[in-house]
Structure 1
Amino acid sequence: MKKLMMLAGCSVLMLAAAAQGSGWKSLFNGKDFTGWKQLNGKAKYSVENGEIVGTTVYGQPNSFMVTEQEYGDFVLELEFKVDSTMNSGVQFRSESKPEYNNGRVHGYQFEIDPSPRAWSGGIYDEARRDWLYPLDLNPSAKKAFRQGRWNKIKLQCIGNTMRTWLNDIPCAYLVDDLTPKGFIALQVHGIGNKKDEGRQIRWRNIRIRTTGLKPAPLDGIFVVNMIPNNLSEAEKKNGFRLLFDGKNTTDWRGAYKKDFPGKGWEVKDGVLTVLSSGGKESANGGDIVTRKQYSAFIFEFDFKLTRGANSGVKYFVTESEKNKGSAIGLEYQILDDAVHPDAKLGRDGNRTLSSLYDLITSKREKRARKPIGQWNKGMVIVYPDNKVEHWLNGWKVIEYERGSPEFLKLVAISKYKNWPNFGMAPEGHLLLQDHGNEVSYRSLKIKELKK
């Protein structure tokens, strides 16, 4: 028996040595919170059977069990099991500073979301920029979460790239440089209803590796890139290219013109800006269009509004008919809804921000709308089967089908009713509109979709 016990002990020591030699380090000793501290709310954290257990407490804000050490580049693995009615998350590269919201924990979060929305594995920016990578951008990952069972998280942060996996299914791919390092934390979300007190989440097998890191192979999922005018290797592999690199406008020209406008548009500090002309449409530089025409594509663009400004991103612009104002095409509306009078025109708000102008009203998702003066991420997707989507800051706000009976009915009661075959060209230019107000653009990217 003694020999067996000695052999078993040797085996444990050998396994521990092997684990240490592989570069993995345990962040939790299975007994107490050595190396951790609690911040913000007073939710209950305890240790049971080698697991960290977080329990909701009514009236408390979001609570965090935080590592005392900060981490920059790493691979983190852990397992969790969560109550089906509880929201939670794992913070990474996060901070708590007295000068920021009185020490409120803020930073990147691996979302744990057992609700029907199923965004577990997405990346949220706690107490800062809201959603960065909601799983509507990668809907196939919504099936990764296993209700009522242990789930395995893998989180890889190397340089500006942050990637997540849940139960070995790739979920999110984020490129961002706002916070290069910070602590890791286990969140117990605040609750607003007394009946939700006592909900629990459990974590175990928490380990981290900080040396010998190699990026996992690219997996082709959608990439959110927050770095201006940057094209990551993953985006290149996915088929994207820049239409504006922060310096050159070679992919653009004036609408109905051969060259880029000599006035009215400015390139400065990596930003392409249409200058104000007092609100007179196309009275200064005029619209600009891509030199190339597109049929099925994903077009990403960052935009920033000034107070009261109006502009638009149009697609399927053919320049086949001269118009007194802006060139004709389907339009992703760019507008300060609170100030510009156009927001109250049309029908049921179909001229508001991110709407299909004068045809379909954008979903009124308040969290998708950034304050005037901040950058927004817009996106138009046109699929080969003529289905179209508008996105705003990671939220899908419109979907429709070109040529469908519903689409044709909307055209028939719109300002475009007298334009033959409106919006139905097989291909067309992309357009940035000069509506006479100052609006800025950057990070213009396109991927052509094969039919």
Structure 2
Amino acid sequence: MKLLPLVALTFLAAASLHAGEKNLFNGKDLTGWQGVEGFWSVQDGCLTGKTTTENMVKENTFLVWQDGEVGDFELTCKFKLVDLNGDSKGFGNSGIQYRSKVVKPEYFVISGYQADMDTTNKYTGMLYEEKGRGILCLPGQAVTISDTPKDAADAKAKDFKIEVTGSSGTGDEIKGAIKAADWNEYKIIAKGNHLQHFVNGKQTADITDNDANHAALKGVLALQLHKGPTGMTVQFKDMILKTDN
């Protein structure tokens, strides 16, 4: 069997892209991405974030894509998340940030929408807003978010409301479609204020964000490395961004 040289393989990969699609990772190094040194690398042809008990991040930090912001887009990638022992029984949490903001450049800290994932797959597929409104849509839910007047007398009162409007499956059904400690596919579609998440082809979140005070229509893409009690490893590959531009 004759092996193709790397240049030919790169050409074939580029040729397989469709109109409006861009490969965000070259499979070789961190070109086009930036994060805290010592935690991110390329291993086995994958973007890899790794912590250990001895080498832990001070707070949630992110590998940030450097080629501008995204607005309306479709992103697909494959991800694998394991605990310190390479399994799914211990700690492991990560996510894909989109339409987000860099709030602490010196440590690559991000706020904004996050397509969540964890080793137990309890939260994988949901929408979480990092350093913002928190959990906005649990796995399997369809929700509409709206702004509401905040009660000035109640310091804990929220200025937004989440209404569950439908379902694509129960949490157990969503979890059952995800392979623990193995490769899975994530797809994120953002069009205006409508956000959708899919894992392995199954819809896991459907959000209409009508909260004018918090909804984001554009921002950066980034990958999370979560602070935890023990180490973990998260890997990403085959990252294809599609836009109308």
TM norm structure 2: 0.72
- Whole-Å Cα distance in 2 between the matches of residues 47 and 150 of structure 1? 16
3-state SS in 2 of match to 1:124: strand
Cα distance change on mapping 1:58 and 1:170 into 2, 3 Å: same
Higher Cα radius of gyration: 1
The match for 2:196 is 163
Contact 1:114/1:145 (CA < 8 Å) preserved in 2?
Answer: no
SS class of match (2:124): coil
Normalized per residue, which structure has more helix?
A: 1
Query: What is the root-mean-square deviation of aligned Cα atoms in Å?
Result: 2.9
**TM superposition shift of 1:23:** 2.6
Shift of 1:142: 2.6
Per the alignment, in what secondary structure is the counterpart of residue 28 of structure 1? Answer: coil
Summarize deviations over 1:423-443 as a string: whole Å, max 9, x none.
xxxxxxxxxxxxxxxxxxxxx
Displacement of 1:160: 1.0
Question: What is the aligned partner in structure 1 of residue 63 from structure 2?
Answer: 65
Q: In the TM superposition, what whole-angstrom CA distance separates every residue of 1:141-160 from its partner, at most 9, and x where no partner exists?
A: 23222112100001101111
* Residue 13 of structure 1: how far off its partner (Å): 3.3
Give the % identical residues.
31
Q: Give the conservation status (yes or no) of the 8 Å contact 1:104–1:127.
A: no
Report SS of the residue matched to 1:13: helix
- Tell me how many residue pairs correspond in the alignment: 200
Q: CA deviation at 1:130?
A: 0.4
Match 2:49 to one of 38, 48, 54: 54
- How far apart are the structure 2 equivalents of 1:6 and 1:168? 31
Partner of 2:179: 146
Query: How far is the alpha carbon of 1:96 from its aligned partner?
Result: 1.4
Give the alignment partner of residue 115 of structure 1, picking from 92, 115, 120.
Answer: 120
Distance (Å, rounded) in 2 between the aligned partners of 1:112 and 1:189: 11
Return the offset for 1:14. Answer: 5.1
Which residues of 2 match residues 86-125 of structure 1 at below 5 A?
86-97=92-103, 104-115=109-120, 118-125=122-129
SS of corresponding position for 2:27: coil
Distance of aligned partners of 1:204 and 1:10 in 2 relative to their CA distance in 1, 3 Å threshold: closer
Give the unaligned 5+ runs of structure 1.
Answer: 213-451
Tell me the equivalent position of 1:35.
32
Secondary structure (helix, strand or coil) at the match of 2:241 reads: strand
Q: Any conservation in 1 of the 2:80–2:234 contact (CA below 8 Å)?
A: yes
Is the counterpart of residue 133 in structure 1 residue 137 in structure 2?
yes
Q: Give ranges in structure 2 of 5+ residues lacking alignment.
A: 83-87, 142-168
SS at match of 2:125: coil
Give the superposition deviation at 1:22: 3.3
Q: Which residue of 2 is the match for residue 75 of structure 1? A: 74
Tell me the alpha carbon deviations over residues 174-226 of structure 1, each in whole angstroms, 9 at most, x when there is no partner.
Answer: 112511011111101001x3xx13x21111111101128xxxxxxxxxxxxxx
Greater per-residue strand proportion: 2
- Whether the 8 Å CA contact 1:43–1:63 is kept in 2: the answer is no
Q: Residue type of the partner of 2:190?
A: C
Question: 1:425 aligns to what?
Answer: none
- Report SS of the residue matched to 2:175: helix
